[in-house]
Amino acid sequence: MATRKSQTLDLAILGTLKEGELHGYELRKRALSLIGQVRSLSYGSLYPALRELTERGYLEVDDRAALGIRRGANPRARIAYSLTSAGKEHLNSLLAESGPKEWEDDSFVVRFALFSQTDLRVRVRILEGRHTRLVERLETIRESLSRGRERMDTWTLELQRHGEEAVEREVRWLNELIDNAKTEEKEMNK
């Protein structure tokens, strides 16, 4: 059994499927509207993933259309996938656990898009993790900027400057979100 890696893709699929059963084609579109900004999602990744998640018991297949016959022959069969209860559990544990590379662009965006299904405390943890990561990146950039200053190519410099700005913006954005979340947290504890 081809063991895939990317938990990110699993998350995206399971998270999208949380709101009801879907067939592959539609699933892809929905998932892309979540994560399309930073990731692509080709069928070459999607269908193998769907198959494996089914094998593992996280997904259930309801293929009324293509019952039994002509597997793999008839497109337009509309094979509907839905979460099993094990699948829901798995989704929850994925949402709660902190995987490796949790703060990478891909992973963060997916987790963020699924925030409405995520516990408030976990949300804060994810936001803060991303924050730390970005501040680190900012330091790296600034260091390289001050180190090079005179020696560096004009255009490389300009690129770096622009990159710095973008990261700064995202840090500020995160700050706001973290503030909001913490306020919300306090109000719930009252």
Partner DNA sequence: CCCTGTTATATCGTGACGATATATCGAATT
Partner DNA sequence: AATTCGATATATCGTCACGATATAACAGGG
Out of 69, 75, 189, 190, which residue is the one contacting DNA (CB under 7 A)? 75
Return the residue of 3, 93, 154, 189 that touches a second copy, per CB under 8 A.
Answer: 154
DSSP 38: T
The answer to whether residue 39 forms part of the interface with DNA (CB under 7 A) is yes
Q: From DNA, a second copy, none, which one binds at residue 77 (CB under 5 to 8 Å depending on kind)?
A: DNA
Please check whether residue 58 is in contact with residue 90, taking contact to mean a CB–CB distance below 8 angstroms. Answer: yes
Beta carbon of residue 8, minimum distance to DNA (angstroms, whole number)? 8
Q: Do 11 and 118 meet the contact criterion of CB atoms below 8 Å apart? A: no
126 lines the binding site for a second copy (CB under 8 A): no
> How far is 138 from 141, CA to CA, in rounded Å?
5
From first CA to last CA, the distance across the chain in angstroms is 50
Stretch that binds a second copy, among 45-53, 85-93, 167-175, 182-190 (CB under 8 A): 167-175
- 50 contacts 13 by C-beta, under 8 angstroms: yes
Residue 23 CB, nearest distance to DNA (Å)?
A: 3
Task: Tell which residue, 99, 112, 82, 97, has the closest CA to residue 7.
Answer: 99
Q: Is 63 or 168 the residue whose CB approaches a second copy more closely?
A: 168
For a second copy, the binding residue among 85, 156, 175, 183 (CB under 8 A) is: 156
Helices (H), the chain: 7-17, 24-35, 43-55, 85-96, 105-113, 120-148, 154-189
Question: Residues interacting with a second copy, by CB under 8 A?
Answer: 33-34, 37, 109, 112-116, 141, 144, 148, 153-156, 159-160, 162-163, 165-166, 169-170, 173
